[in-house]
Amino acid sequence: MEAFLLPAFTPAEPLVERACGYRQWRLLKGEVLVPGSEQMNGFQQQQVTLQNFDLEVLLGEGNYSQIFQATLRSTHKTVALKIIDKTKVKRYHKMDEVLIERWVLSRLRHPSIVELYHAFQDVGAAYLSMEAVPGGELWQCCHKTGLPMTIARNYAAEVLEVLQWLHEHDVVHRDVKPENVLISGDGHVKMIDFGTAKLLRNPIKLGLDDEDEGGKRPRRKGFKEFLGTPEYMAPETINNKFADQRADLWSFGCFVAMILVGKPPFRGGSDYLTFKRVLARKYQLPEGVPVVAADLIGKLLVLEPAKRLGGRWPAGVPPADQLGVKKKDKGGEEGSDSSVAAFRMTRTYDHEAIRAHPFFEGARARDLYKQKVPLPMLSEIAMREVMMKHLGTPSPSDL
C-alpha cells in the first residue's frame, strides 16, 4: 500500500514515506489540528490512535468512508468515528472533500454543527472523531408524510442560522437536505457532511482574490462546479454558471418544502427529468400547505439568484473591522485570533430578510441558535401530530 500523509491530519503512527501527489491548499498549510489539543466536552488532552477506541456499531458508509459508533476508552464517551480509506480517497480524487470537512468542523464551530473532537491518521486511513447524535436524520421523520409547520419552522430556523454562519465565513454547504441534518438528544439540529462544501476564499482558485491585478476591481467570489444532490441543486449549478452562497438559499427552499410535504418539489423520474423541472421552475405544492410556507418557498425558489429572498446585499452593512475581521499589519500578518476571522466576509447576503418572513414567526430563531429553547424529541411529537394531520388518527392523548 502506498503511504502518504493527508495535510491537516496529525499522524498517529510514523509513516514509511510521504508520497502525497495531491496539491495542498495553502490556506491549510500549518493549520494542523492536534488530537486532543483542546479540552472539549470532557475530553482530556491526549494523543489518540485507533487503538484508543472501541468500535461498536456501523452507522453508515460512503464511497470512501465508514462511520462507526465508538467509545473512547479513556473517558468512556460515545463518539461517531469516521474512518476514511486513504487508498479510495486517492482513487476517487476526494482529498479536497476530506480536507474541507476537517477545516469546517474544526474552525467554524457552532451549536448546530456536529462537533469535531479528534483528527488523526495512520498508514491506511484518516479518522475524524465527532460528536455522537442520537436522534437520527431529520429525513427519517419527514419523508413521505412531512411535518406540521409548528415543528418544521423551528428546524428550518436552526438550519438557516447554520447557513448564515457558513456564508459569513465564505463557505457554501452545497448539499442542504434533511439527510444531512441530525436531531440531537434535546431535539435541536446538528448539520453534518461538509465534504461537498466550498470555501470561496481558497486563494489558489482563480477569481477569488479580493482585487484584480490592478488592485481596482473586486473579483466575484463563487464556483462553477457541478456538485450536490440533483433534487436540491440550484439552477445556476446545473447550468455550470457562476454560483455562490445563494445556491444554498435555493437548496434551503427545497429543504423547507421537503420537511413540510415529505418529498422534494422538483423530483423527477431521473436526474435528467429533475434538472428539466428545476430549470423550468416546475413544481406544485399539495393542498394543505400553509400559505406563508408556500410564499417562503416560492420566494426562495427563484431562478435568478439576485431575486431570491435574501439574495441581495443588505444596506448599511458595517465595515470589516466591526465584523471582527483582523486587519493585516504592514508585514501582512494576521492577529492571533484571526484563524477564523481572516475568512470572515466583510458583508454577507441578507439572511435577515429570510428570517423576517412570516413563516418564522414564533420560531424564536436567536434563542434556538443559542439552544436556550428546549425542543422535544421530534420522534414523539412529530409522530403524534403527523398521525392527526395526515392520517386522521387520534393522538395517543385522545385515546
Where do runs of H (alpha helix) occur along 182-284? 235-238, 246-261, 271-279
Q: What is the pLDDT along the chain (399 residues), one digit of tens a residue?
A: 455 677 767 665 433 222 232 233 222 222 333 333 333 444 444 578 999 999 999 999 989 999 999 999 999 999 999 999 999 999 999 998 999 999 999 999 999 999 999 999 998 999 999 999 998 999 999 988 899 999 999 999 999 999 999 999 999 999 999 999 999 988 899 999 999 999 887 533 433 333 333 443 334 455 656 788 999 999 999 998 888 999 999 999 999 999 999 999 999 999 999 999 999 999 999 999 999 999 999 999 999 999 999 998 776 554 333 444 444 444 444 443 444 444 344 446 899 999 999 999 988 655 665 666 655 444 444 444 443 443 343 333 333
Whether 14 and 115 share a structural domain: yes
| Alpha-carbon distances, residue 72 vs 54, 76, 78, 82, 299 (angstroms) | 7, 5, 7, 13, 46
Whether residue 82 is annotated as binding a ligand: the answer is yes
Q: Is 322 exposed, middle or buried (0-12, 13-18, 19+ CB in 10 A)?
A: exposed
As for how many domains the chain has, the answer is 2
The answer on 198 and 284 residing in a single domain is yes
Does the residue 328 lie in any domain? no
Q: Are residues 66 and 182 in the same domain?
A: no
- Residues 316 and 288: their CA atoms lie apart, in Å, by 39
Q: Are residues 75 and 216 in the same domain?
A: no
Q: From the candidates 85, 96, 175, 350, which is the catalytic residue?
A: 175
Give the CATH number, domain containing residue 89: 3.30.200.20
Do 164 and 214 fall within a single domain? yes
* 3-state SS, residue 276: helix
Alpha helices in 196-350, H assignment, sequence order: 235-238, 246-261, 271-279, 291-300, 338-341
Residue given cell 418544521 in the structure block: 152
- The answer to whether residue 322 sits within a structural domain is no
Distance in angstroms (rounded) separating the CA atoms of residues 18 and 29: 16
C-alpha 195/C-alpha 173 separation (Å) is 9
147 with 252, same domain: the answer is yes
Question: Of the residues 101, 131, 161, which one is the last residue of a structural domain?
Answer: 131
Which residues are registered as beta bridge partners of 120? 10, 127
- Indicate the residue among 105, 131, 157 that finishes a domain: 131
Instruction: Decide if 325 is inside a domain.
Output: no
- Nearest 10 degrees: Cα torsion 157, 162, 163, 165: 130
| 188 found inside a domain | yes
The whole domain housing 17 covers 10-131
Question: How far out from the chain centre does Cα 236 lie?
Answer: 19
Q: Taking the C-alpha atoms of 32, 33, 35 and 39 in order, what is their torsion angle to the nearest 10 degrees?
A: 140
Residue 186 bears catalytic tag:
no
> What residues form DSSP beta bridges with 127?
83, 120
The Cα–Cα gap between 155 and 363 comes to 9
* 290 shares a domain with 358: yes
Last residue of a domain, one of 131, 156, 177: 131
